[in-house]
Chains A and B, each alone.
Chain A
Amino acid sequence: MVLGIFSVYIEEGCITCDACEEAAPEVFEVTEDTCFIKSDVRLDGGFDRNDSKSGLKTEVVQTYSDDILDAADGCPVDVIIVVEAKVDEVEVEEVIVEAEVEVPIAAEATQVSADIEGLDAFLSAGDRTLNIFFGSQSGNSEQLASTFAKRAGDYGLEGIVHDMDGFDIKKMASMRRVAIVCSTWGEGEMPDNAEALWQAASSKDAPDMSGMAFSVLSLGDTSYELFCQSGKDWDGRLEQLGANRVAPRVDCDVDYEAMATEWAQEALTMLSAVDDSGNLQEELIEAIREMADGGASVADGEDGFIIPDLTSDEIEVQLSVFRYDPHEKTSGSDTWLCSLPGHLTLLESLRAIQRTHDGSLCFTDGSPHDPNTAIVVNGRITLPGLSRIETLSNGRPGALNLHLEPLPGYDVIRDLCVDFGVLTKKREEASLWHVSRTREAIRSEQGTLIGSMDPSEAIALHKMSDSFGAQVLHSCSDSIAYSQSYLGPSVCLDLWVKRTDSRTSTKRAEEIDTLLGGSNAILAETDLAPIGRQPLAGKEIQSALSDAKTRALELNGYNGRHGKHVWWYAWTMKSSGRVNDTVLYRQVLGPLGLLSNLTSGVTARMLTGFTRTGGKMVNDILALVAPPAGIGKMPRQFNKRVDDHYEVVSIFNSLDSRF
């Protein structure tokens, strides 16, 4: 697939710097307050900013594409928008013409529809036999002939398979539709079962076959000098005898399945369009092809396997990609407006843009499941090779807007490529190796000693570590990009999995405890919710990290600000059923923290409700006079208890007597 220029227009905000006119004077004309697309390059002949996105003339696209793109790239305010359309790799011009003129396409569609109406009559009249001959030594040709006979029904044909062995050449000559599937044996020889018929066909007494339409599928092996010679012989001889080759011969190597299928689609279509007289009805070919395409989604294999139709309609996409130039140290984004098939993956789309439009676009390519390829799409961490364009739509009307950014938490190398080195360093820092304890083994049936684990523990360990890769998980935290010392969720999870693994040695578990309780480990994570909602991480991982946090708090005796926050939150809940923010502020921040907030304006902001609209200003002023207060925005010092508070206390006492 190739993207070619279809149109160009100017958005609001032109600063009339003349750069575009200098780059492409034939296309752009800068006026007093904006820039116009010239009338003689446009299909609609208009002379304005081209808000209607009228297409450009074919010759203009051919001649000035590079200039237009240079102008767009050089626009300092990025108001030149180049609209691209998907075009065939070699037929750029033709597709643009199709896009320009819709009426002929509609007329063509009407014609096809009429053809389909007449097709039923054609397919139901007269002899619709397709004679499929096989010349086979190992059975492959026979098997293919049988498959094609079954498939012939999709084309309105009745497939009959004939073994060449003992078949009368005269009878063959009377047939209207013939398909030959023939392998080559030895040094260009016919298979045994085809030899006699071939001799008859190649003799000078062979009958005239001018009433026959045919096509040949030839099986062979390229390692032999006379590759597919038998098929070539049949193809040439039938033509000599006057038969009409309606579909070209296909020569298959040892991996023949795909090519054979392609040949069958073409040959069956063409042979189906042959009438009772042996004449090819060309006007019906497209209708037959369309009919067969509809039927192709049904039973495609002998085992009845149904091949689903995975193609989708084209979708208008506005693809905005983060760009970073490491040499200039500048960043921004480039936007492409394009029409892409919905079934295309994001990775395929990026490849297409890179190949056809901007070779400097940088992203990590790889297999669909490769975590190194991950990027952020509209805030969602995504493996682009697994994401079809159509699945990224959120139901908004109009063009699909996709914002592509590099993974957060890493240094950007260029555009969407990031350097995972920081994660490697953090993993080194945390010494993520496993040190096993000495433990009992069990003897396998083969007599060898192997380690064992309780299945439930094994499942639990696997579930909590089931992520799409350390690189991806590291980026799932919303705080990782804002804290250089934080080891990140990936390293913390790895530590926690090893800590809960019963195979870990006692000494190593103690070391992990020390690491986990540190200020740069899981306690540095400000919010676990963003990790749980990322599809490539999930609730299991969020839950495991929450357990790790609990462990770290216990190890620290609920000291430190984080520990006190959790402890006093629970305490106030037990006291009244409600959280008491006054108590939290006092107990967690302490006198120094409160003083800091006083001088930094935080307390003042709380008191005055600077931008908030909650209370009356007089209360805010009173709060300034007599803090801390239960007035204004200051949290109340004493909570009113919830109804049936004794139930809350009872639950606390039953489950956690620490508070």
Chain B
Amino acid sequence: MPIRFAYHPGNVAHSSAPEVDETMRAACRSLDIELIDMPGATSCGAGILGQANRRLQITLNARTMSIAEDLGMDIITPCATTAATLYEDLMMLKADSSLMGEVNRTLEKTTGRVLEGSIKIRHLLQVIMEDIGIENFSKKVKNPIPSPLAPYYGPNLQQIGLIGGDDVFDPWYMESVIEAGGGDPIRYASRTTSAGTPGIFSEEQTVLRQSANILSDAKTMGARMMISACTLSHGVLDIYQGKASRSTGLNTNLPIIHFCEYIAFLTGNFPTRLAMLKTRVAVIGD
């Protein structure tokens, strides 16, 4: 009997990070998780929309969550930013009944929908650890990746209340998954710190230093590859890697994949991509 979730692919899985959506679907199939699409769900706003108008972001997210409520399911997402933004907005609404009332009035007037606030927001990592269980997960591993791997959580996912039983600042969920996948989890200090992603356009130099520090930190501790739980940070840590190295003089050359890709590979999907990845891991680095 599969576990069923309403599926929110995150902000950029439809455009600049299609591999996240592709591998999320494959990974969930292998893990016996059934994803129910929400074709009406909007972007979560990623906190950026909230800087223009917070009420607007909350109301749009209330609409998305009400779609999941209509399905009678919790939301699952592979994106740490989406998980955090939806969770924060849901918590804000549940803690403030007058805000909930006002948002619902707007929602009802404009869409005919109402949010009760009965759902939960889950990241794939949390579902693996708390719903599937690490022992059951390890049985589904078909293609172990026996390398020193650096987990990257970022600050969005690691919030009190959002990540269940994990430690916010000294987490171990992804480390457990890496161990189950035959890898050697690298413990490095900056794995929950921000890569500065929301500021990549406006504060590029600061963000380059932030991301270079994370990559260099992981590399110094012996990582051969990084696994990111955050789709947006994944983009910055990967695409701006070379620029960050030139800007800071740090060695940042490190393959980085998204958590969904990692899970999909472990569970036997996309063997050719996994072979390519292994080659890259072998080639890149010191």
Contact = CB atoms under 8 A, between A and B. Distances in A.
A567 B206 contact: no
Given A579-B12, A605-B242, A647-B110, A613 B206 contact: no
Contacts of B22: 614
A562 interface: yes
A533 B155 contact: yes
A569 B49 contact: yes
12 contacts: A479-B206, A483-B203, A526-B207, A526-B210, A546-B47, A570-B56, A573-B49, A600-B243, A605-B238, A611-B256, A633-B16, A635-B16
B192 interface: yes
Contacts of B168: 380, 533
Contact of A651 (B39, B52, B110, B257): B110
A222 interface: no
Given A579-B12, A613-B273, A650 B194 contact: no
Contacts of B246: 600
Contacts of A600: 242-243, 246
B172 interface: yes
A16 B27 CA distance: 49
A379 B188 CA distance: 10
Interface in A610-645: 610-615, 633-636, 639-640, 642-644
B169 to A, nearest CB: 4
B238 A611 contact: yes
A532 B159 contact: yes
A613 B17 CA distance: 10
Given A478-B193, A478-B210, A580-B15, A394 B198 contact: no
Nearest to A569: B48
A149 interface: no
Interface in A555-574: 558, 560-562, 564-567, 569-570, 573
Nearest to A612: B238
Contacts, number: 247
Given A550-B52, A635-B15, A479 B210 contact: yes
A292 interface: no
A53 interface: no
Contact of A579 (B11, B106, B165): B11
Given A532-B159, A655-B59, A526 B40 contact: no
A635 B12 CA distance: 8
A482 interface: yes
Report, as a range, how many residues of chain B touch the other chain: 35 or more
B243 A530 contact: no
Given A573-B60, A651-B111, A395 B239 contact: no
A590 B17 CA distance: 22
Contacts of A577: 40-43
Contacts of A558: 52
Given A529-B84, A579-B43, A612-B238, A394 B172 contact: yes
Interface of B: 11-12, 14-20, 22, 39-43, 45-56, 59-60, 63, 84, 88, 106-107, 109-111, 113, 154-156, 158-160, 165, 167-172, 189, 192-194, 196-203, 205-207, 209-210, 213, 238-243, 246, 254-257, 261, 270, 273-274, 276-277, 280, 284
B257 A613 contact: yes
A274 interface: no
A523 interface: yes
B42 A573 contact: yes
Given A403-B189, A579-B43, A601 B209 contact: no
Contact of B156 (A396, A529, A560, A593): A529
B61 to A, nearest CB: 10
Nearest to A613: B273
A562 B14 contact: no
Given A579-B12, A639-B15, A651-B59, A523 B167 contact: no
Contacts of A210: none
B42 A578 contact: yes
Contacts of B207: 479, 526
A560 B209 contact: no
Interface string A386-408: 00000000111000000101000
A584 interface: yes
Report, as a range, how many residues of chain A touch the other chain: 35 or more
A634 B207 CA distance: 21
A527 B197 contact: yes
B166 to A, nearest CB: 8
Nearest to B273: A613
Given A479-B206, A527-B155, A601 B242 contact: yes
Nearest to A553: B51
A528 B198 CA distance: 9
A659 B45 CA distance: 14
Contacts of A6: none
Contact of B43 (A550, A578, A611, A650): A578
B206 A482 contact: yes
A382 to B, nearest CB: 10
Contact of B159 (A533, A561, A573): A533
A361 interface: no
A456 interface: no
Contact of B169 (A378, A605, A613, A639): A378
B199 A479 contact: yes
Contact of A606 (B46, B54, B239): B239
A35 B116 CA distance: 66
A602 to B, nearest CB: 6
Interface in A380-430: 380, 394-396, 403, 405
A483 B213 CA distance: 13
Nearest to B18: A614
A602 B235 CA distance: 11
B47 A533 contact: no
B5 to A, nearest CB: 18
In the A-B complex, the 5 residue pairs with the smallest Cβ-Cβ separation, listed nearest first, are A614-B19, A526-B199, A394-B167, A526-B196, A562-B202
B159 A524 contact: no
Residue among A479, A567, A582 with the most chain B CB within 10 A? A479
A142 interface: no
A468 interface: no
Given A635-B12, A644-B40, A650-B111, A584 B201 contact: yes
A654 B15 contact: no
A445 interface: no
Nearest to B210: A482
Contacts of B172: 394-396
Contacts of B205: 483
Interface string A184-224: 00000000000000000000000000000000000000000
Contacts of A570: 48-49, 52-53, 56
Interface in A502-552: 523-530, 532-533, 535, 539, 546-547, 549-550
A611 B280 contact: yes
Contacts of A403: 189
A116 interface: no
Residue among B17, B51, B107 with the most chain A CB within 10 A? B51
Interface string A165-201: 0000000000000000000000000000000000000
Nearest to B253: A611
Interface string A457-492: 000000000000000000000110011001000000
A652 interface: yes
A588 interface: yes
A300 interface: no
Given A478-B193, A577-B41, A579-B11, 19 more contacts: A379-B193, A395-B172, A403-B189, A483-B203, A524-B203, A526-B207, A527-B155, A546-B51, A566-B48, A579-B43, A602-B243, A605-B240, A613-B19, A614-B17, A642-B42, A647-B113, A648-B63, A652-B56, A654-B109
Contact of B47 (A378, A528, A580, A602): A528
A546 B54 contact: yes
Contacts of A380: 168-170
A437 B74 CA distance: 51
Given A573-B49, A654-B109, A479 B203 contact: yes
